[in-house]
Amino acid sequence: MRLNEHRPLVRIREVKTLDGFNVELTFADGIVKVVNLEKYLHGPAFEEIHRDPKIFRTVFVDPINETIMWHNGAEIDADVLRDDLTPAWMEREAARYS
């Protein structure tokens, strides 16, 4: 992609929970992808979600931002999930040790 080209915003239309921390995501452009969310469930907002499978399974698509979130307000950006980007906390850890 050229710098002056813009990629359409990544939006999630549907989320289904699978085994463990896996979810099936359906994106607005029709792509369906299975993502393991465990590496993203880090930090205070995700503690209870990571610890309790019942709470994890309450994940839903936020109709306004069109990404996934939980009732406590924790969310994961659709771009991060679509492109399997490194979570910010992992980048900070790597920088600290390099």
What is the per-residue pLDDT for 10? 92
Residue 1 covered by a domain: no
pLDDT in tens, 5-56: 566 789 999 999 999 999 999 999 999 999 999 999 998 999 999 999 999 9
What is the domain count for the chain? 1
State the pTM of this model.
0.83
Residue 49 covered by a domain: yes
CATH number of the domain within which 66 lies: 3.30.2020.10
Taking Cα atoms as reference points, which of 82, 83, 86, 55 lies closest to residue 69? 55
Residue 43 covered by a domain: yes
What is the per-residue pLDDT for 69? 97
The set of long-range contacts for 44-53, using a CB threshold of 8 Å and a minimum separation of 24, is 45/72, 45/73, 45/74, 46/74, 48/72, 49/74, 50/21
Residue 41 covered by a domain: yes
Residue 2 covered by a domain: no
Domain that holds residue 16: 12-96
Q: What is the largest distance, in Å, between two alpha-carbon atoms of the chain? A: 44
Residue 5 covered by a domain: no
What is the per-residue pLDDT for 90? 64
What is the per-residue pLDDT for 1? 44
